[in-house]
Amino acid sequence: MERMEHTTTNKEFNQALTPGKPGKPVKPAETLLSIEDLHVSFHTYAGEVRAVRGVTYSVEQGGSLAVVGESGCGKTVTVQTVMGLTPIPPGYIKGGKVIFNGQDLLQLSEKQMQSIRGKDMGMIFQDPMTGLNPTMTVGRQIAETVQRHQNVSRGEAMERAVEMLSLVEIPNPRVRANQYPHQFSGGMRQRAMIAMALACEPLLLIADEPTTSLDVTIQSQILDLLQNLQERLGMTILLISHNLGVVARLSKSIVVMYAGKVVETGSSSDIFYNAAHPYTRALLRSVPRMDREIRGELASIPGTPPDLFQPPEGCAFAPRCKYAMKVCTKCDAQPIKLGDNHYVSCWLHHEANPNNPFENKSENGGRNSD
């Protein structure tokens, strides 16, 4: 995937911004979102699906965090729970906290969550049609979001909608505002979704696989747009993707999830150059590296993730891990600190293990080949 040049002009950004935006009061240099030991399950006929099993991660204000992991590892259920969108039943929250801007969202009523969704937290999904109403013009939908959360007239809200469409680089935004979602291409719909999510200047933008349904060129353009918005607006982004390649350019910190748990966290350089969990290293081998010549074939990770009806007692990656030891199948490793913000949950890194194959991690030049 080749990196595209930014096409947004500063003028468009500046027009869409008023001084201090996005400027809702938030205590400076604080953690904006903190997910603490979250457990979410689903009751099904076949039994309990333990989708999220003690997930902890946080996003700093103005930061960009990516959550990566193979499909089905609990990325979406975690952020759906943050947004108060987990279907209950069949879902239920077994424990944990979601502290957002100082308050525990799990203690709020649906009515209180409604006022936070859209206003303080915006969300974009893999399929933009999930978030767009096919029976209403795109401009009207954005305007309604603005009117729901801000005390502005219908005309002012519509003006804001046009500004937002221009911000996300939709050509002829005034004309486009009066069109329906089906008149937009896939990429344009995703831009419209981003415009809607940003219309009320949310403190946090959650982007769940925002480019997965798009072709590679459009993917790249949408990632550029998000990166541009992040840099220009100082926006806080929580990006979710099954593809480490997608998050490389946008996210300063990365959380790797496997089978409902966090297995490694670190800065993007920790993850890309000093990955410490065998799963992270396998994920890295399965995506094209944009910064190096690729030699040989990309490897898919052998085996499949475990059944979340009966997750294993020990490390869930053990059946697929060539380093698995006896202890791995008996109990799960707790997070081990490797650097400032670099943590891994893997027995290989326990101080009592004399044979850590990744000890001199930089020796391989960051290639992360085992």
Ligand X SMILES: Nc1ncnc2c1ncn2[C@@H]1O[C@H](COP(=O)(O)OP(=O)(O)O)[C@@H](O)[C@H]1O
Does the footprint of ligand SF4 cover residue 121 (CB under 6 A)? no
Does the footprint of ligand X cover residue 57 (CB under 6 A)? no
* 19 upstream amide cis, omega within 30 of 0: no
Angle at 162 between CA 159 and CA 165, to 5 degrees: 150
Q: Which of 38, 42, 132, 248 binds ligand X (CB under 6 A)?
A: 42
Does the footprint of ligand X cover residue 87 (CB under 6 A)? yes
Does the footprint of ligand SF4 cover residue 142 (CB under 6 A)? no
328 makes contact, choosing from Mg ion, ligand X, ligand SF4, none, with CB < 5 to 8 Å by partner type, with ligand SF4
As a whole number of angstroms, the distance between CA 214 and CA 125 comes to 12
Query: Which of the ranges 69-77, 96-104, 243-251, 336-344 carries the binding residues for Mg ion, by CB under 5 A?
Result: 69-77
77 makes contact, choosing from ligand SF4, Mg ion, ligand X, none, with CB < 5 to 8 Å by partner type, with ligand X
Helix (H) or strand (E) holding 65: strand 64-68
Query: Which of the ranges 74-82, 101-109, 151-159, 273-281 carries the binding residues for Mg ion, by CB under 5 A?
Result: 74-82
User: From edge to edge, which strands make up the β-sheet containing 253-258?
Assistant: 121-124, 204-208, 236-241, 64-68, 253-258, 261-267, 343-344, 336-337
Backbone angles phi, psi at 338, to 5 degrees: -110, -20
Q: Which of 40, 41, 53, 76 binds Mg ion (CB under 5 A)?
A: 76
Q: Is 84 helix (H, G, I), strand (E, B) or coil?
A: coil
Nearest-approach distance from CB 240 to Mg ion, in angstroms? 6
Residue 74 vs 128, nearer CB to ligand X: 74
Write b or e for each residue in 90-103: b if 16 or more Cβ atoms lie within 10 A of its Cβ, otherwise e.
ebeeeebebbbbee
Nearest-approach distance from CB 10 to Mg ion, in angstroms? 35
Total residues interacting with ligand X, rule: CB under 6 A: 15
CA distances from 334 to 138, 183, 357 (A): 47, 51, 19
333 makes contact, choosing from ligand SF4, ligand X, Mg ion, none, with CB < 5 to 8 Å by partner type, with ligand SF4
Contact 343, 274 (CB under 8 A): no
146 makes contact, choosing from ligand X, ligand SF4, Mg ion, none, with CB < 5 to 8 Å by partner type, with none
Residues 310-349 that bind ligand SF4 (CB under 6 A): 315, 317-318, 321, 323-325, 328, 333, 346-348
Residue of closest CB approach to Mg ion = 76
Joined together, the tokens standing for residue 157 give: 């809200």
CA distances from 174 to 160, 177, 201, 311 (A): 11, 5, 20, 52
Contact 202, 115 (CB under 8 A): no
Nearest-approach distance from CB 329 to Mg ion, in angstroms? 28
Q: What is the DSSP letter of 250?
A: T
Q: Which of 16, 32, 35, 49 binds ligand X (CB under 6 A)?
A: 49
Does the footprint of ligand SF4 cover residue 272 (CB under 6 A)? no
206 makes contact, choosing from ligand SF4, ligand X, Mg ion, none, with CB < 5 to 8 Å by partner type, with none
CB hemisphere CA count around 29 (13 angstroms): 0
Total residues interacting with Mg ion, rule: CB under 5 A: 1
Nearest-approach distance from CB 192 to ligand SF4, in angstroms? 41
Does the footprint of ligand SF4 cover residue 278 (CB under 6 A)? yes
Joined together, the tokens standing for residue 150 give: 């801000």
51 makes contact, choosing from ligand X, ligand SF4, Mg ion, none, with CB < 5 to 8 Å by partner type, with ligand X
Q: Is 71 helix (H, G, I), strand (E, B) or coil?
A: coil
As a whole number of angstroms, the distance between CA 339 and CA 266 comes to 8
Write b or e for each residue in 27-55: b if 16 or more Cβ atoms lie within 10 A of its Cβ, otherwise e.
eeeeebbbbbebbbbbeeeeeebbbbbbb
As a whole number of angstroms, the distance between CA 307 and CA 309 comes to 5
Contacts to Mg ion by CB under 5 A: 76
* Interface positions with ligand SF4 (CB under 6 A): 277-278, 315, 317-318, 321, 323-325, 328, 333, 346-348
- Which residues of the chain form contacts with ligand X (CB under 6 A)? 42, 44, 49, 51, 69, 71-77, 87, 90, 308
